[in-house]
Amino acid sequence: MASGKLIPSATWAQRKEVVFLTFLVQDVKDLDLKIEANRIHFEGSSDSKNYDFDLELYAEIDPEKSKYTKGDRVIDCLLQKKDTSAPFWPRLAKASGKQGWLKTDFARWKDEDDADDEEKGGFGGGDMDFTQMMGQMGGMGGMGGMGDMGGMNFGGPGGDDMPDSDDDKDDEDEEGMPKLE
């Protein structure tokens, strides 16, 4: 990497068949993003910052099926894994160690052992139709079988026969106590 060139911040996540890579660069100009089988080249500028770096990927991707979109604030890459039967990648970069510019995108992350229940928000639920269930519950007026609770006294001020906790009526056991010196 040449001096004066920066590495953009990025987030990544993966699924069984794809890797999501998002570069967090606003208003990038002169973007040169090359997706190759085992590396990604990123070059561009934003304000007075010049970005230029090569990322060597952990495993191969299919450059023909991979694509990217450039937005005002981010560049989103969808990288198609070459071997979709292989286990999940333990990291994005081939080099091990901390990559300070790279963070996990937990909003898109899916673990290898997660079931395929995305359409249900990850909660499963089988084939239960909650809209039908809620429709059957319509018109429920209060708690069934409880009747009218209008005559019940819930202990408001002066409304119960029990003494307040600050009443001094039960101080009989204190009368036999000696005074403190």
CATH of the domain at 56: 2.60.40.790
Angle at 113 between CA 112 and CA 117, to 5 degrees: 100
97 within domain boundaries: no
State the pLDDT at residue 164: 59
What single letter denotes the amino acid at residue 62? D
130 within domain boundaries: no
54 within domain boundaries: yes
On the question of pLDDT at 128 being above 60, the answer is no
C-alpha 101, offset from chain centre: 20
The DSSP bridge partners found for residue 21 are 12, 77
10 within domain boundaries: yes
55 within domain boundaries: yes
- Among the ranges given (56-65, 89-98, 115-124), the one the predictor scored with the smallest mean pLDDT: 115-124
Q: How many domains does the chain have?
A: 1
* pTM over the 0.85 mark: no
State the pLDDT at residue 148: 62
State the pLDDT at residue 55: 96
Query: Cα-flanking dihedrals φ and ψ of residue 136, to 5°?
Result: -75, -20
2 within domain boundaries: yes
Give 108 or 123, the one with higher predicted confidence.
Answer: 108
Predicted confidence (pLDDT) per residue in 37-92, tens digit: 999 999 999 988 999 999 999 999 999 999 999 999 999 999 999 999 999 999 99
Q: Which domain holds residue 65?
A: 1-85
Give 1 or 83, the one with higher predicted confidence.
Answer: 83
Q: For the residues 27-34, what does the mean pLDDT come to? A: 94
